[in-house]
Structure 1
Amino acid sequence: MEWRGRRGSRNVEDRRGMGGAGVGGIGIVGTLVVLAVGYFFGIDISPLVGGMQGEPSSTEQRELTQEEQQIGQFVSVVLADTEEVWTRILPQQTGVEYVDPQLVMFSGVVASACGSAQSAMGPFYCPNDRKVYLDTDFFRTMQRQMGAGGDFAYAYVIAHEVGHHVQNLLGILGQTMQARQQSSQTVANRISVLTELQADCFAGIWARGASEQFGSIEQGDIEEAINAAAAVGDDTLMEKAGRAPMPDAFTHGSSEERMTWFMRGYQSGQMGQCDTFKAAGL
């Protein structure tokens, strides 16, 4: 993916040098409560992470490493790409004007309008403040523990979370959150899966739009994204954590589902092809 030397976004807030802003760890109980409420729409890597109990974070300021600075520039460019693509596509296909989200980069623990969260929860989108939260160390986890490295794989992660922002602008998130609260756990999990798969489909639409607008996608990039989608499938994460996959417990979708819906968005470029709920008969 060609990203160096390109325009970055102004909508990035970098908190990585802030230690954790004094938030502290919320512990496994707090994490599960937050996830149960359904506020966070992200890539859940908790099956891969043991010991989610956090220690109080330091508020000591620190300088970012050269690697962290480069990653920050990359995230900024990818976010700028999503802004340009969705500013064009969303009004064309839905009549809804696109409003840029903010993206917060953090280390370890972060406070959001949806509560506190730890890195083990993975990148997430908070509809209450319309912000994407990303601990950039997740990219290292993708490469080392999930076998899903590469610039475009990381870009897919950002595009997926921005996909949740698109859902929020369209009113979809509010509807799904209400539906989940009124449903059994099994049905609520299925609604969560369909929400995630639609965000994957929207990420595919972004990939197609980025290729058309910027010509920044190189040979092999789509394969990286597909590999990343497979790596964050519930069945794959459960298997790597030594657990038998339990479809009724899925909240993000299987590897095959995530790859399929990403490609559906990429190949069609049409938001109407991303109605996971209709496809599931809901």
Structure 2
Amino acid sequence: MDDETWLAERFEENRARLRAVAYRMLGSFADAEDALQDAWLRIGRSDVRAEEVRNPAGWLTTIVGRVCLNALRTRRTRAEEPWEPWETWDGHLPDPVVAGEGPLAPEDAALLSDEVGLALQIVLDTLTPDERLAFVLHDMFEVPFPEIATVLEREDAATRQLASRARRRVSSAQVPQRDRDVARQREVVNAFFAAAREGDLDALVSVLHPDVVARADFGALKLPRPALVRGARTVAENARIGFVPEADLRPVLVNGLAAALVVRGGRPTTLMAFTVTDGVITALDIYGDPDRVRALAAPVLS
């Protein structure tokens, strides 16, 4: 077997892991696929020989990590200023895995094997590119610090400090731990929609955590309401005002969480993902750009 064939086989064997790394780094399926393609092109242009690669999975992971790092560095500059959870959110929600209420497809299961929810993905977006690489590769994919340091072109100690700083930011964000029972999640979500349909503010408040956070990403569309609101009563008021009685609510899963696809006139318009913790909603993420929603929901619409 020649080197090119051997490398191609190793790449395909590790594709699910590499895609998961790119998704965690970039928060976009399209960008993740572009990163994999770029990584493969780089490998093809290299003169590496098969016998030089002692750990194919680790070697490929660092290549994809380097591609993603470069992609993040070309995005808008993130100033390293005093940071508060959610305050640096730029209004963009990461791509979620949308599925029906059944077993996940193998490729989706690989993406969600670490059970990272949307809330943590949003926190990852607030990290600097170097912090994100150190945290994602080490804490999520168990890449040794010396290998990460090589990608970052930093000393090992500095790389550890980056991961530690990222860890503190993630911890200070107090990402809510979700209930694992999807059926229980669905009960809470159904109660939320029933209360919204009735316009019952007190009932809405009762299923919301006092410090609930609601984030809405409407893409290029003009925002009909603030992109981020906090507090049970404020979120409840928005839900009561914004509920559309004639809409069809289809139950789906978003990153393994109970969610709803809002369909109007036979066309999906909105995707709503709920984080339920101890029987109440602690986070609500709303995708309101119809074009993006249709693309994200394609797996459950086909």
Quickly name the TM-score band, shorter chain normalised.
under 0.3
Bigger RCO (CA 8 Å, 6+ sep) = 1
TM-score normalized by structure 2? 0.24
Q: Which structure has the greater CA radius of gyration? A: 2
Instruction: Give the number of the structure whose residues are more often helix, by fraction.
Output: 1
TM-score normalized by structure 1? 0.26
Instruction: Give the number of the structure whose residues are more often strand, by fraction.
Output: 2
